Chain A
Amino acid sequence: SQQGEEDPQALSIQEGENATMNCSYKTSINNLQWYRQNSGRGLVHLILIRSNEREKHSGRLRVTLDTSKKSSSLLITASRAADTASYFCATDIYSTLTFGKGTMLLVSP
């Protein structure tokens, strides 16, 4: 069964705007990770947040984790056309990852 579910399924914004994607999950986790996938390619790891952390930053990325609500959000600030991709959250429970179905982000110039 799917552990993580991203919302929205698709998001279309203009360059320079911020993009926010959400992930909800069902059971307790060790950590939650976000990945990016460009069209037809493999996934690239973006950021990992542990269950005892609430917020983490990496460049233009900001991730939050609310374990009481079993949810996480990924914020991409000042988006660029090159950010166009699918974004997946993945939950780590027993050292394997369970991926959501992803959010497709389109950033228009």
Chain B
Amino acid sequence: DVKVTQSSRYLVKRTGEKVFLECVQDMDHENMFWYRQDPGLGLRLIYFSYDVKMKEKGDIPEGYSVSREKKERFSLILESASTNQTSMYLCASSLGRANNEQFFGPGTRLTVL
């Protein structure tokens, strides 16, 4: 079974802090994705990556950056956390572009105070 793990289930940070959210998948998937999920807005794509050291902006990249130094790991970085970044963050991976069933991690609920 594909396993996607996220570094924290719950995280509380203060405004202005730099925040790292880590995601690791164990099935050699090419693609990795970061979403945020908010009530009434559904899932929105922040960034994605089709290969190591590659990154593409999603629908809402502002205020975020990403890093993919190894195939199995995709990090989401909040350079200076703000209260409007309080949300559930979901990481996902998929095998390739032609087979893009996505496997999700359990999510990180981030609260920025």
Contact = CB atoms under 8 A, between A and B. Distances in A.
A and B held together in a complex: yes
Interface of A: 2, 31, 33, 35, 40-45, 48, 88, 90, 92, 95-102
Interface string B73-113: 00000000000000010101000010011111111010000
B12 interface: no
Q: Considering residues B35, B104, B109, which has the most beta carbons from chain A within 10 angstroms of its beta carbon? A: B104
Given A43-B90, A96-B48, A96-B58, A88 B105 contact: no
B4 interface: yes
B107 A42 contact: yes
B27 interface: no
Nearest to A9: B40
B19 interface: no
B107 A101 contact: no
Size category of the B interface is 20 to 34
B97 A45 contact: no
B42 A102 contact: yes
B43 interface: yes
A9 to B, nearest CB: 10
Nearest to A94: B97
B105 A42 contact: yes
B45 A42 contact: no
A69 to B, nearest CB: 22
Nearest first, the 6 A-B pairs at minimum CB distance are A42-B104, A101-B42, A99-B43, A95-B97, A43-B104, A42-B106
B42 A97 contact: no
A92 B100 contact: yes
13 contacts: A2-B42, A33-B102, A35-B102, A35-B104, A43-B43, A44-B104, A45-B103, A48-B101, A90-B102, A96-B45, A97-B102, A98-B45, A102-B42
A42 B100 contact: no
Contacts of B92: 42-43
